[in-house]
Amino acid sequence: MITITTTEALEEFCIRATSHPYVTVDTEFLRERTYYSKLCLIQLAVPGNDDEDAVLVDPLVDGLSLEPLYELFRDERVVKVFHAARQDLEIFFVEAGVFPRPLFDTQVAAMVCGFGDQVGYETLVRKIERAQMDKSSRFTDWSRRPLTDAQKKYAQGDVTHLRGIYEYLSKELEKSGRAHWVQEELTSLTSPETYTIHPDDAWKRLKTRTNSGRFLGVAKELARFREGYAQSRNIPRNRVMKDDALLELASTKPRTIQELGRSRLLLREARKGEVAEEILKAISVGLELPQDQLPKAPDRSKEKLQVNPALADLLRVLLKARCEQEKVAQKLIASAADLDALAAGKRDVVALTGWRAEVFGDDALRLCEGKLALAAKGQRVEVFEV
């Protein structure tokens, strides 16, 4: 089991990887104590069964540069294969502003190939590779050194089994002509906006039922401060101020340190010093916002949709029938909210676009218009023209 600890060794492996059609990639990281994920280990493998075909890269070693890996990520001749890539991609985007291209995500591909909703890696290992994985090292502290043999074995398995899974799924997609479905789904994963959190927009994450513009104005300023402070110091936002404390302050609107100290939910560290001063400043800004600059409550129109319940039920049956017929995960096609929106007459839902329209959307519209009907035949549901 090879562990790479020098830039030269990493460059040698990455150069060798360019002679292969694909490389499998995974990471181990920690995020409990930081705002951004702390990269602790990178696993890489190319086709083959020799010891040097799969390596572990230790990014915590002083002097190791990951630039050879980023050069490999930019090489569009080599497919970069991940499973459930979102968190891995966020790490590389934050670290270096780079996205692996071209990208293949086996979780997305498995959903297209009929393995169910958000299928786990261990499930694919069992069903495709006919192997079992030891999960005991999954939640260990990957920042501690030295790594144990069990950790290394577990980490390496995340990319060695991935080779067979990728080869199987890519062949299935080629046979079914659905490769473009997967590429459509991966577009958002390689968009910077997916991973960029703007402090000005942080308030939109808050769960509040109030429509008061002044309350939301104060909450927006508090959330802006918290997000910027957490980002600049690379600490979890909840270490600055938890959501419930933020909403409490937006409601009580303290103006002095003494009033701030009466908060029931604010962390002790936030009641004094720089954080306390910034909290009071944010509240003051929120209170002084002109009326026309106050944020508006999130659009809750979806909650007020005039849904035709019978039609919504028929759409659910149609979705199930089509997904069983096409062997594709229902969750990938449409959510329950999408179906309710369709049954309420909405037409700006993702289920009506792209490849989803081919599988379900076009028929869903015809069902809504009374041009299709459903009938039970044995264990199956049949769709026919009216």
Residue 299 is predicted with a pLDDT of: 62
For range 153-167, the mean pLDDT: 97
Is the per-residue pLDDT at 293 higher than 80? yes
Distance of CA 324 to the CA centre of its chain: 26
Could you tell me which residue, 81 or 135, shows the higher pLDDT? 81
Residue 89 is predicted with a pLDDT of: 98
Could you tell me which residue, 300 or 172, shows the higher pLDDT? 172
Is the per-residue pLDDT at 145 higher than 60? yes
pLDDT tens digit sequence for 195-214? 999 999 999 999 988 889 99
Is the per-residue pLDDT at 300 higher than 60? no
Please give the domain boundaries of the chain with CATH numbers for all domains. Answer: 2-194 (3.30.420.10), 199-288 (1.10.150.80), 302-385 (1.10.150)
Residue 50 is predicted with a pLDDT of: 87
String of b and e for 366-380 (b: at least 16 CB within 10 Å)?
bbbeeebeeeeeeee
Is the per-residue pLDDT at 301 higher than 60? no
Residue 376 is predicted with a pLDDT of: 87
Is the per-residue pLDDT at 302 higher than 90? no
Is the per-residue pLDDT at 223 higher than 70? yes
For range 116-133, the mean pLDDT: 94
Is the per-residue pLDDT at 303 higher than 60? no
pTM of this prediction? 0.90
pLDDT tens digit sequence for 330-367? 999 999 999 999 999 999 999 999 999 999 999 999 99
**Chain mean pLDDT for the chain:** 94
pLDDT tens digit sequence for 24-70? 999 999 999 999 999 999 999 999 988 889 999 999 999 999 999 99
Is the per-residue pLDDT at 82 higher than 90? yes
Is the per-residue pLDDT at 281 higher than 90? yes
